[in-house]
Structure 1
């Protein structure tokens, strides 16, 4: 398929250099209008050792992304994994090894794993965290006020998700910095500002997780670890040692990277649209939370592999071909969102797909993420109403995470 009008030949939205400059919304707009299911031919370098063919279909329309997300009959996360890469270098053995992670599983295995993990994310469990998270948010702001100015990412946006993860897992709060460093190293393999081996960081988290699991076997507590490694009273299964280790990796990454970036992008959006900050401080619309998450879209894309010949929109995707589900594009689809390039905290309804659509892989921690965003911005509006930006946001170089590394701010007037 030839390049769509006004989309450069060779355009590949998984290119980390492209995403470091900013999500290519102009190109996505062109694709949505002219080629909503568009073949991306990847370079010979990218094809070296590639699993799943020599390219993929970029799916950019909200309706198509949602339809594929819900279709576990024709599309697999396990076949080639959920992570899409600009220069795929994973072997079949590595892909199969990562099949133990929830995002890389298909039903019925995925259903069983999700049922176990969901025991730690019940509405009752999340609601029980509200008071302690409010206290932690106030402590975070206390520290920021004492500094006067600094980096919003590391000092504010990262802190509440990290402390929430530590509370969930029963990890000592003083160890949260380890999870932060390990997950950063794991996920920042495309960015030269970050040093260290992603494989070694993953091994560190696995080792740490297995130590936690062993502690709970010896000394069970009323926490998520104990729930996940032991069968419940109804006889439902528990996570094996490796499964639990990879769950901690997933929680460290998903609970840290994504929520941190949602809060950071939200604050940056308030700087760009100061009328919205004034509105939020006065009226506190509940719709703010989902607009922040839509605007941020921390994970821009996941992939699926067709396990049958299947139509996506007007295009036939052959068995074995991959599709990239571009949530970042779907969340700006003008057929669904009025003025999608405007940050509007009163937007409702807001059927964004930032949590992965509404299929089998809908984010288990979505309610926790929403709670953290709500609490953090309410605390900021109460206690740092005059927060101002001191410099440009520094973006992460990455193929599928919409990340900000630094955001310099003045906390107090």
Structure 2
């Protein structure tokens, strides 16, 4: 077996005023060199922010950046001392985001603490049982074959639009019972909502969120009148287990989260995975020959589609030996934790045989562990097996164009030759 290629970032100083949520920094590349310096010298690093950068958090002039795997993991598991609700989980908003708008998002599960979070998760878990996700496999596998076959016919194109985004979109549509012909509405709306820092993406995030809320709330009313065997009906219908049902606003915001999480994150994991195989052709040859099950978590570790979420200290506490005052924010930098040499041997090596692989790309292993993790793994597995079967000689046809964003590791365009 050919050894994987290692790419270790050089030692570097942390620039004065450096903020790893700066969209310009993240558009250039995930700042792995700076993260390595932080882990070595200041693993709990104070980031002073400009007023524009801490929009939505008027009482907070900065945050503590957690860069070690141990610290990110510890805070992720501790809902007693650290809150997702106090300031939400999103660490950086658009500059015009108001405090009132931030607080309105507390209805979303990602921004909740127990007991609200516990109740909400019990309800939505109905649609994400292992049996329920497993039941999707045959249909998603057929969809994957069609997606890849259509790419073969095109010959060349943007991998993001042609392949990476299509399977997650079709999976979300199947889960929610959204007509497949409407799936690109979800794609368009989620792009508008999440691309507020990228000048190449047209549209208004607030208008897009209103559009998707209206669409999904209308669907919920239809299911109340005519129930179906889909996730929408399960979520809005009271169950005999006593967990209750989601209200219209809760359902609307849940679908926003599901659309963004299922579309943005999985499509970027798939795109970064393809780029990693282009950069490490020995690993592509190995994958085509052996299809190791370890490959999919390595792709997700390498991509880390969401680079950071945040928590807020509920009282004076400490993390990693650093005192943190009540009300101060900490950034859980998954992208740094996933390259921590204390946890991963040769972390800057893309190694599809890596095992164990305790990456934190699904948000750590606490209460907020990604409820769709198994679905995401399945989609990554299906798409790369189909590419290896039908597009074994796929080639890059240009450099990727990265998304300008503060906390999503996104690629907008990856031109490829399919055959």
* Same-fold status (TM-score > 0.5): yes
Instruction: Check 1:255–1:248 CA distance in 2 against 1; reply closer, same or farther (3 A cut).
Output: same
Who is 2:19 aligned against?
Answer: 12
Deviation of the 1:44 alpha carbon: 3.8
Q: Is the 8 A contact 1:327 1:353 kept in 2?
A: yes
- Secondary structure, aligned partner of 1:358: coil
Shift of 1:45: 3.7
Partner of residue 233, structure 1 = 240
Residue pair 1:15, 1:86 contacting (<8 A) in 2 also: no
Separation of aligned partners in 1, 2:55 and 2:411: 30
SS in 1 for 2:17: coil
Distance 1:113 1:51, change over 3 A: farther
Tell me the SS of whatever aligns to 1:196: coil
Aligned to 1:194: 201
Q: How far is 1:92 from its partner?
A: 3.0
Deviation of 1:51 (Å): 3.6
CA distance in 2, matches of 1:64, 1:265: 26
Number of residue pairs matched?
A: 409
Counterpart for residue 36 of structure 1: 43
**Scaled by the length of structure 1, what TM-score is found?**
0.97
> Does structure 1 residue 174 correspond to structure 2 residue 191?
no
Name the residue aligned to 1:211.
218
Matched, 1:135 2:142: yes
**Pairing 1:1-400 to 2, within 5 Å after superposition:** 6-47=13-54, 50-85=57-92, 89-400=96-407
Deviation, structure 1 residue 142: 1.2
Q: Distance in 2 between matches of 1:382 and 1:314?
A: 50
Deviations, residues 177-213 of structure 1 (Å, cap 9, x unaligned): 0000000000000000001100000000000001110
Shift of 1:48: 5.8
1:46 aligned counterpart, secondary structure: coil
SS of equivalent to 2:53 = helix
Whether the 8 Å CA contact 2:54–2:92 is kept in 1: the answer is no
How many Å separate the matches in 2 of 1:70 and 1:352? Answer: 14
Query: What's the CA shift string for 1:232-280, capped at 9, x where partnerless?
Result: 1222210000000001100110000000000000000000000000000
Whether the 8 Å contact between 2:403 and 2:410 is mirrored in structure 1 is yes
Partner Cα separation in structure 1 for residue 54 and residue 286 of structure 2: 49
Aligned counterpart, 2:4: none
8 Å Cα contact 2:55/2:97 also seen in 1 = no
**Contact conserved, 2:399 with 2:415, CA < 8 A, in 1?**
yes
2:46 is paired with a residue of what secondary structure? strand
Q: Hey, what's the Cα distance between the residues in 1 that align with 2:165 and 2:335?
A: 22
Partners in 2 of 1:20 and 1:285 — Cα distance? 31
Partner-residue secondary structure (3-state), 1:181: helix
1:57-81 CA-partner distances (Å, limit 9, x unpaired):
0000000000000110111011011
Name structure 1 gaps, 5 residues minimum.
Answer: none
Shift of 1:310: 1.0
Give the distance between the partners of 1:109 and 1:156, measured in 2 at CA. 37
Determine the C-alpha separation between the residues in 1 that align with 2:188 and 2:236: 25
For 1:295, what is the secondary structure of its paired residue? helix
Instruction: Check whether the contact 1:52–1:321 (CA below 8 A) recurs between aligned residues.
Output: no
- Mapped to 1, the partners of 2:94 and 2:19 lie a distance apart of 11
Structure 2 spans left out of the alignment, 5+ residues: 1-10
Q: 1:19 Cα shift?
A: 0.3
Q: Which whole-Å CA distance do the structure 2 matches of 1:52 and 1:256 have between them?
A: 32
Residues 52, 305 of structure 1: 8 Å contact kept:
no
Per-residue CA distance 1:305-327 (angstroms, 9 max, x = gap)? 00111110010010000000000
Equivalent in the alignment of 2:3:
none
RMSD over aligned Cα, in angstroms? 1.2
- The CA distance in 2 between the partners of 1:191 and 1:313, in whole Å, is 34
